[in-house]
């Protein structure tokens, strides 16, 4: 099966590296590692910037292409391939997204601390998001997902209910991020790092909403109904209180 999506457009090497940094979340980490200055040197095209550094343009394009994500829904509903998709498309991406977002937030808060629009406290909030998500995803990968891949069991609703409750907390945190960043809209005159930070936060929020949707509305219900039936149609398998010992 091809992994290429028609929603993903090939990167244009004539684009400025500053614009790529803003448009493609994660590109800033690549540019920093390659010592391509997307701030003061952000006006240079990718072609010119790589040539100045003696870099292989096609290799850089290939690395940047790995950061592009399809915007269409997956269409996968079978539990095992859906779980594999969630881990690859969302868990791994969240783990890669957050360290760079935290770094950029720390930079923006430090350099622009006198700016009244600076998102004071953003780096700390992102660090809390990272800690919560890492814990949440570990529980899914180590406990819940193996349980679901083996077909589930009559007691699977308990760990699912824990994940659902944590999803509610994640949504509340996304609302805090939106409020702190004006819905990930940078202020007029924001530097490339600030703009790239907000573009990355926008992608993080979109990804996390889609991630939660797939679990809450596609994956979990397939097992919750079976578990309730196995437990007698309600009672112990439901979400309410249970007096069984």
137-196 confidence digits (pLDDT tens): 999 999 999 999 999 898 999 999 999 999 999 999 999 999 999 999 999 999 999 999
Give the tens place of pLDDT for each residue, 93-110: 999 999 999 999 999 999
pLDDT band at 111 (very low <50, low <70, confident <90, very high): very high
Q: Are 199 and 22 in contact (CB under 8 A)?
A: yes
Chain centroid to Cα 124, Å, comes to 17
Which of 49, 51, 222 minimizes the C-alpha distance to 151? 222
Q: Whole-angstrom Cα distance, residue 70 to residue 3?
A: 10
pLDDT in tens, 33-78: 899 988 777 889 999 999 999 999 999 999 998 888 765 556 788 9
**Contact present, 64 and 30 (Cβ < 8 Å):** yes
Of 40 and 223, the structure prediction assigns the larger pLDDT to 223
Nearest to 48 by CA among 59, 39, 33, 36: 36
């Amino acid at each position: 099966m091809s992994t290429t999506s028609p929603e993903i457009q090939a990167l244009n090497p004539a684009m400025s590296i500053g614009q790529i940094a803003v448009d493609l979340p994660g590109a800033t980490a690549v540019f920093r590692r390659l010592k391509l200055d997307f701030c003061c040197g952000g006006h240079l095209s990718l072609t010119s910037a790589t040539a100045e550094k003696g870099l292989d343009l096609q290799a850089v394009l290939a690395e940047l292409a790995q950061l592009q994500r399809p915007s269409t829904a997956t269409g996968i509903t079978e539990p095992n391939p859906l779980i594999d998709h969630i881990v690859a498309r969302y868990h791994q991406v969240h783990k890669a997204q957050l360290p760079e977002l935290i770094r950029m937030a720390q930079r923006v808060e430090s350099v622009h601390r006198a700016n009244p629009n600076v998102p004071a406290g953003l780096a700390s909030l992102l660090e809390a998001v990272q800690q919560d998500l890492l814990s949440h995803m570990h529980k899914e990968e180590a406990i819940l997902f193996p349980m679901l891949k083996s077909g589930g069991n009559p007691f699977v609703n308990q760990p699912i209910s824990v994940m659902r409750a944590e999803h509610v907390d994640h949504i509340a945190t996304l609302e805090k991020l939106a409020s702190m960043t004006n819905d990930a809209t940078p202020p007029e005159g924001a530097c490339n790092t600030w703009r790239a930070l907000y573009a990355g936060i926008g992608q993080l929020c979109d990804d996390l909403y889609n991630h939660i949707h797939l679990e809450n509305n596609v994956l979990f219900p397939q097992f919750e109904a079976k578990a309730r039936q196995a437990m007698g149609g309600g009672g112990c398998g439901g979400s309410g209180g249970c007096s069984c010992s």
